[in-house]
Structure 1
Amino acid sequence: MVRGLLTVGMAASLAACASAPATPQTASAPLPAIDDKRLDQTTSPELVPYASEGEFRAYLRSLERLRDRRERYTARSSEIVVAAAMQGGDPLCEKPEDCPGEGGVRDVIVTGSRAAAPTSITNVQTAGVDEGDIVKQIGDYLLVLQDGRIFAINVKTMQLTDRADVYRHLPPDRPGKKRWDDDFDGADWYDEMLVQDDHVIVTAYSYKDDATEMSIFKLDQASGKVASEGVFLITSDDYYDVDNYATRIVGDTLVVYTPYALDQFEERDARPILRRWLPEAERKTRQARGTPLLDARSIYKPVLRTDDPTVHAISLCPLGGFDSKRSLECRTTGFVGPRKAEMFVSPEAVYLWTSAFGDREWWHLPGCDEDQAEDGAPLDRPRADRRDVAPGALYRLPIGSRAPGVVGVSGAPYDHLSMDERDGEFRALVDWRSIRCRSGYAEPAQNAFLKIRTGVFDTIFQPVADSAFTPLPSTGKAIVENRFADDWLVFGGRNGWSGDPPDPDTPPQSSKVVAVPVKRPKDALVIDVPHNIVRTERVGNDVIVNGYRDDRGLTLTLIGLGKDAHILSSAFLPDRYESEGRSHAFNSIVDEAGNGIIGLPTVKLSAESRRWWWRSDTSDLSFLTKSPTGQLADAGALAATPDDQVETDASYICEVSCIDWYGNSRPVFLNGRIFGLMGTSLVEARIDDDKIREIARIDLTAPLPQR
């Protein structure tokens, strides 16, 4: 996703999706790719890489010829089918006990990375898997990524110890410099930060280099100073995702996802490379040219029909013992498939779900003459048959050295939070809407629950059994917010993309929460809640859903999960509104006795509550307490900018990456202490008499203390 076009182009596209009816197929429309059997000559019934450069180039030529023909091809009605490999063969594992289990030949063996599970201080999806974010911890230091800079704060002394630019300053008098040239070198957006031992890894994107930039720093815990250990560039398209993160750490292994348009592989000189960034004077050396990230023998052939494929690349890069003299070495695997993809990382493996759901021609599918009733309301459609749900391929790439496996699936996950792995099972909440008859995102979501043993992943591409999918109730809403909590899946819904509160003249909002016991998904429970749902998050062993009944403020409802699922309590925050949409903006901590604290960014005016991805205004932080019986109570808020205090120091200048695509506010719970990052302020607080109270504040933009 190109961020430079997102604010206008993406917003317009989402608005169109939410309101426009599907376009019926016309006589001149091309046959959709998933219906075009001629594309079978470009797919494989088995998950195998290309044997040689010649075979890969033959695929490129063959696809180009088919594209030319498809432009002249007129559509005709046909049944949805998937690649030839899915049309035959027996389904995999009708029952879990039929699949290879623990100790089977397909079990994953994870290398030494398993012994060093990272510790996360923000809200992450899976324990033992750290996700890229803007706040991390090393020892006594909190590290904050903002404005292309790393801020290091000693939490024992509450002092800012360093502020290091991740981007590079160029010599102002360099030869050939023009008056309007930038004085910086590096990426346009510095997005995600990870830590491993004393190392800090910052992920960025550079449009000039068409590359993902990985900057590695080392924190000296004695001085609190941050020093560069090297910068590496991985050729890629922009990895930005409105919900997901491009990087993970599993033990000492860095996981990086980079997508590529297929035309980037047509010319060998233009193919993705991994190289160390070097100063301009050294860029003509062999080292500067880099090494190929992917060759044909590490790219797996498509198993799904698609005429507009993407190469989805997953790189696994060991970081143990890294120093400035080492190069970043990665094992990269590419999968050719439809553009739509979602990545999930467990402590065992990387999962990639690709789906024809997002193919560019899905709205041209035949067999649907009318998509809306006369009054413009979406039709009340029967539940989609599996043949009418988009086909997909789910890949599993072990973190260790094992080869990947694949299964044939249907539908698509709503986001990465829709997937989970536990106790040798892969589970997922699946969007089960028909791709033949859709009214954009106006009609209520249809849902299914997928559960398969991890042993079914194999090199032969076969569909999972129909019995692996369990129909689930609908929330009655078009958009789904979901979260796994060990043996439960909980999801709720809202009507549109926006997380804004309703307008004053809108009738009171309500929604339904569906709680699914993953061991008995047929026993899913439907719970009525008196507000819509803009966020679903885990709090200890329970789940909380946030939303709006009207424009007066935010309501949070805690749902207890045990033998059953039921509402424990609700709390209303008058004149407080959510302001950030990413999962890391929310955080909670629950002790062994069941006492908990919850924090999330909020603003005081409903007009400021746009949860858009480019929002860079500073939020406050609202806190709630949770009792052992699950009773929620409003604990007040920390103000981002107290009276008579400017947000940034007068001497501070943001030079690059000045839009906070990943947000800028985080509640952090660390060793019994409460911290809040709000824009460029880091606040320590504590709860006295059930109310949050500020006790210390650091302005990250103030001059560094002199030593």
Structure 2
Amino acid sequence: MEVMLSIKPKATDLIYRLTLIVLITLVSACSIVEKPNLKQLSSNRVEEFKSKDELIDYVSNVSALINYRNTKEREHFKELYVDDIERIQVTGSRVDSTFSSITNNQVNGIDEGDIVKVSGDYLLILRQGKIYSVRLSEYGAGEFNLPYEIDVIQPGWGKDVWYDELLVVEDIVLVLGYSYSLDASQILRFKINDNGVISYKDGIAIKSNDYFSSDNYASRLFKGKYLTYLPVELIANRSGELNDLGVNIPKFARLNSSNADNLIWEEIVKPSDIYKPNQIVTDPILHTIITCSPLSENFECTGKGVISSNNYEYFVSQSAFYLWTYALPKSLVTDFNFDENWNTHYESTATSHMSGDSKLFKLEHLSQQFKVVDVDGVPVDQFSFYESEGVLNIVSVNNPWSETKEKAQLFQIPKDEFDSSSKDRIMPSRIWYLSPNYINNRFVESWLVLGYYADINGGYKSKASVKPQFTLYFKSLNTAEDLNIELGHSVDRIETVGRKLFISGIDTDFNFNVSIINIENKPFLEGSGVFEDFLEHDTRSHAFNFAQFDNHFGVAGITAYNKVNNTGNTLLNDFYWEENVAANIIFFGLAGGYEVIKAGEVKSHAKQISLADNCEVSCVDWYGNSRPFFINDRIFVLTGDELIESQLVGNQVEEIKRINIKTKSY
């Protein structure tokens, strides 16, 4: 059977943080520009710039390409422009054996930034610009003390800051945020003492664009090192006007409560830390990886970067940071009809059989040196990557400038294939030719698992408008074996629960479904359940969690909301700011056999938040505000401002007590 796949909507297609950047290009209609020399726009090797002058020369050449494209565009569409005002473009802004985490992480041993973490005896919650600590371990079930809290933003810093991700190493609490007043990301350190009191220690601001992604997370913690991905638009003036040429090289400033108005900006990334592009890109991004030592006295951080396309996906394994980028084919870079942001090109003529330019960069944790291979297509998301025994497995679909028929490819790349220069293009180990649809994907042990998700996020949908596809596809990583399992629903979520898979989605009656796939030997459908009263609220990885309570019974939790009415018309809240409300938590009992049961529901009493401060400090829950999580044999729920503990009684999760962390009331 032929599989039908496509790409999920990318985070770069969203208007991050609802920030509007209006770029007005003032280019004379009668300008005469020469076609740029493309040989100066890419390097055959992954090597560092030798000086700032060499970097500026590169930026000058890219600006000439941008200027050429803008001028040709104006000449072609001159009837659309009035009074020398060009088109307005809207863009996005803004393990060791002791490792443990309450976050549903992608890779074992690598903790990902989230809104809930544990530090010793304390549960830490990042919520609307505050960190709350709640002591848990000295009390029995349902008994936790009133929380201690601290403002993340320090006095005198100013506002317009969003704090999104929390990580913990020993007694150091790390917070990642983005400041629009500084146009910089912030990495802040706090210290938590034995009494749960949190105090600000220090922090740094790093000039960058906003790191926010709708499905990936910017920060990781691995073997005591803190790693953050930050994108930087390389050209300060993106119009291509050389007389206004500027180069954005990330600088950092140390933060404390007294110097916010007089920051001293220093180099964190030098030209010699920046690798030359292996692609011709019309909108260059400096993909920057910041690595910090959280336990160092002076909070030491370093940076590395590589210039590449503004279409990308990244993944962090136990050995390296991987960056997949994809750009226009060389034959189209001087054609103004086409843009690297492939959703915005004006025409689609002459695109058949043209291959885009895809690169996979690897920054090893130990060597801190970039290497590269040539690849093909684009990954679906970060779950398209899986590293095992020195081999990087990746699934990609064809890029938007190639064949009109979709194609999926499995790449299996040994670590010694990466080099300082692009060799022959890496050939896929398996290829499928496809018809377009939305794809979900996950690597699980020796299988690549594929399915279709129902595109229902972001508004009102009726049953008639949703046509999910129900086959779950298994592709062997070691052989040519294919295995298909027919489900009764779409594949909106793929999660591992021990040696099984938790697959959820909707059926044609708009009901929520769960299927459990046993993968111990040959995958088979072990159990399922159909639920009519609710749909999943947030399908990102961190909104799911699972715990095995004994050999026979496991509990999984999701965020959910009730259907609006019985006609099938449903308001989907998702994480959009207009519906910034907390979700309920549904628990499922997984006991084997043929039935997945509803094991309880924790309803949120939280109300929509007030925007009285004009939404200046973390007032929108861009990463969600509701989580199920487990600490040993205790079951917790965060939903908005409410922290709720439940317990397992028989095969049901029953609420014990809740506390409002903001009002400190039970």
Q: Same fold (TM over 0.5)?
A: yes
**1:48 matched residue in structure 2:** 47
The correspondence of residues 437-586 of structure 1 with structure 2, limited to 5 A, is 446-466=407-427, 468-472=428-432, 474=434, 478-494=437-453, 496=455, 498=457, 503-506=462-465, 509-520=468-479, 522-586=480-544
**2:377 matched residue in structure 1:** 411
Change (3 A) 1:58 1:588: same
**Which amino acid in the other structure matches residue 128 of structure 2?**
D
SS in 2 for 1:297: helix
Change (3 A) 1:281 1:255: closer
For residues 703 and 434 of structure 1, the distance between their equivalents in structure 2, rounded to whole angstroms, comes to: 52
What is the CA deviation profile of residues 573-630 of structure 1, one whole-angstrom value per residue up to 9, with x for unaligned ones? 2211111131100111236735311000111125343324444211111011112557
Q: Is the 8 A contact 2:452 2:469 kept in 1?
A: no
**Which amino acid in the other structure matches residue 414 of structure 1?**
V
**2:65 matched residue in structure 1:** 66
For residues 653 and 57 of structure 1, the distance between their equivalents in structure 2, rounded to whole angstroms, comes to: 40
Show structure 1 runs of 5+ residues with no match: 11-35, 75-113, 171-183, 372-383
Q: Is the 8 A contact 1:600 1:623 kept in 2?
A: yes
| Residues 1:243 and 2:215 are matched in the alignment | yes
Q: 1:210 aligns with which of 158, 169, 183?
A: 183
For residues 308 and 619 of structure 1, the distance between their equivalents in structure 2, rounded to whole angstroms, comes to: 38
Q: 2:395 aligns with which of 429, 432, 452?
A: 429
Q: Which shifted more, 262-271 or 555-564?
A: 262-271
What is the CA deviation profile of residues 428-478 of structure 1, one whole-angstrom value per residue up to 9, with x for unaligned ones? 12112552465xxxx8x5321111111211101124432x3411475x662
Change (3 A) 1:60 1:7: closer
**1:83 matched residue in structure 2:** none
SS in 1 for 2:542: helix
State the 1:165 CA deviation. Answer: 0.7
Per the normalisation by structure 2, the TM-score is 0.82
Change (3 A) 1:422 1:613: farther
Change (3 A) 1:117 1:616: farther
For residues 551 and 346 of structure 1, the distance between their equivalents in structure 2, rounded to whole angstroms, comes to: 39
State the 1:489 CA deviation. Answer: 2.1
**1:138 matched residue in structure 2:** 119
Q: Is the 8 A contact 1:255 1:316 kept in 2?
A: yes
For residues 470 and 177 of structure 2, the distance between their equivalents in structure 1, rounded to whole angstroms, comes to: 38
Q: Is the 8 A contact 2:586 2:602 kept in 1?
A: yes
**Which amino acid in the other structure matches residue 416 of structure 1?**
Q
The correspondence of residues 211-290 of structure 1 with structure 2, limited to 5 A, is 211-220=184-193, 222-264=194-236, 271-280=249-258, 284=262, 288-290=263-265
State the 1:494 CA deviation. Answer: 2.9
Change (3 A) 1:269 1:503: closer
Q: Which shifted more, 141-150 or 528-537?
A: 528-537
| Residues 1:597 and 2:555 are matched in the alignment | yes
For residues 269 and 9 of structure 1, the distance between their equivalents in structure 2, rounded to whole angstroms, comes to: 22
Q: Is the 8 A contact 2:52 2:271 kept in 1?
A: yes
For residues 497 and 390 of structure 1, the distance between their equivalents in structure 2, rounded to whole angstroms, comes to: 30
For residues 241 and 394 of structure 1, the distance between their equivalents in structure 2, rounded to whole angstroms, comes to: 20
**Which amino acid in the other structure matches residue 340 of structure 1?**
N
For residues 48 and 67 of structure 2, the distance between their equivalents in structure 1, rounded to whole angstroms, comes to: 25
Q: Which shifted more, 206-215 or 350-359?
A: 350-359
Q: 2:105 aligns with which of 124, 127, 148?
A: 124
Change (3 A) 1:276 1:4: farther
Q: Is the 8 A contact 2:36 2:65 kept in 1?
A: no
For residues 398 and 544 of structure 1, the distance between their equivalents in structure 2, rounded to whole angstroms, comes to: 32
**2:24 matched residue in structure 1:** none
State the 1:65 CA deviation. Answer: 2.5
Q: Is the 8 A contact 2:439 2:450 kept in 1?
A: yes
**1:105 matched residue in structure 2:** none
Change (3 A) 1:295 1:583: same
The correspondence of residues 686-697 of structure 1 with structure 2, limited to 5 A, is 686-697=647-658
For residues 459 and 52 of structure 1, the distance between their equivalents in structure 2, rounded to whole angstroms, comes to: 19
What is the CA deviation profile of residues 36-91 of structure 1, one whole-angstrom value per residue up to 9, with x for unaligned ones? 994232211111011112211111122222333344569xxxxxxxxxxxxxxxxx
For residues 2 and 360 of structure 1, the distance between their equivalents in structure 2, rounded to whole angstroms, comes to: 9
Change (3 A) 1:318 1:401: farther
**2:638 matched residue in structure 1:** 677
State the 1:307 CA deviation. Answer: 2.0
For residues 388 and 562 of structure 1, the distance between their equivalents in structure 2, rounded to whole angstroms, comes to: 42
**1:639 matched residue in structure 2:** 603
Q: Is the 8 A contact 1:39 1:307 kept in 2?
A: no
Q: Is the 8 A contact 1:579 1:603 kept in 2?
A: yes
SS in 2 for 1:54: helix
Q: Is the 8 A contact 2:453 2:468 kept in 1?
A: no
Change (3 A) 1:349 1:446: same
| Coordinate RMSD, CA, aligned | 3.3
Change (3 A) 1:648 1:388: closer
Q: Which shifted more, 528-537 or 258-267?
A: 258-267
For residues 594 and 625 of structure 1, the distance between their equivalents in structure 2, rounded to whole angstroms, comes to: 10
State the 1:648 CA deviation. Answer: 8.8
State the 1:500 CA deviation. Answer: 7.4
Change (3 A) 1:618 1:364: closer
State the 1:414 CA deviation. Answer: 1.0
Q: Which shifted more, 332-341 or 349-358?
A: 349-358
| Residues 1:625 and 2:589 are matched in the alignment | yes
For residues 687 and 205 of structure 1, the distance between their equivalents in structure 2, rounded to whole angstroms, comes to: 39
| Residues 1:391 and 2:354 are matched in the alignment | no
Q: Is the 8 A contact 2:192 2:198 kept in 1?
A: yes
Q: Is the 8 A contact 2:526 2:592 kept in 1?
A: no
**1:354 matched residue in structure 2:** 325
For residues 653 and 303 of structure 1, the distance between their equivalents in structure 2, rounded to whole angstroms, comes to: 44
Q: Is the 8 A contact 2:136 2:145 kept in 1?
A: yes
**1:335 matched residue in structure 2:** 306
For residues 259 and 360 of structure 1, the distance between their equivalents in structure 2, rounded to whole angstroms, comes to: 15
Change (3 A) 1:41 1:204: same
Change (3 A) 1:363 1:702: closer
Q: Is the 8 A contact 1:613 1:662 kept in 2?
A: no
Change (3 A) 1:500 1:594: farther
For residues 456 and 365 of structure 1, the distance between their equivalents in structure 2, rounded to whole angstroms, comes to: 38
Change (3 A) 1:168 1:279: closer
**1:161 matched residue in structure 2:** 147
**1:28 matched residue in structure 2:** none
SS in 2 for 1:185: coil
What is the CA deviation profile of residues 305-359 of structure 1, one whole-angstrom value per residue up to 9, with x for unaligned ones? 212211100111122x334xx1x32221111111111110011111111112781
Show structure 2 runs of 5+ residues with no match: 1-10, 21-34, 74-94, 238-243, 329-338, 565-569
| Residues 1:322 and 2:275 are matched in the alignment | no
State the 1:186 CA deviation. Answer: 4.5
SS in 2 for 1:245: coil
For residues 57 and 690 of structure 1, the distance between their equivalents in structure 2, rounded to whole angstroms, comes to: 65
**Which amino acid in the other structure matches residue 292 of structure 2?**
C
For residues 433 and 323 of structure 2, the distance between their equivalents in structure 1, rounded to whole angstroms, comes to: 26
Q: Which shifted more, 484-493 or 604-613?
A: 604-613
Q: Is the 8 A contact 1:409 1:463 kept in 2?
A: no
Q: 1:610 aligns with which of 573, 577, 580?
A: 573
Per the normalisation by structure 1, the TM-score is 0.77
SS in 2 for 1:533: coil
State the 1:169 CA deviation. Answer: 3.4
Q: Is the 8 A contact 1:50 1:296 kept in 2?
A: yes
SS in 1 for 2:366: coil
For residues 263 and 648 of structure 1, the distance between their equivalents in structure 2, rounded to whole angstroms, comes to: 38
Change (3 A) 1:146 1:388: same
For residues 614 and 278 of structure 2, the distance between their equivalents in structure 1, rounded to whole angstroms, comes to: 50
Q: Which shifted more, 65-74 or 344-353?
A: 65-74
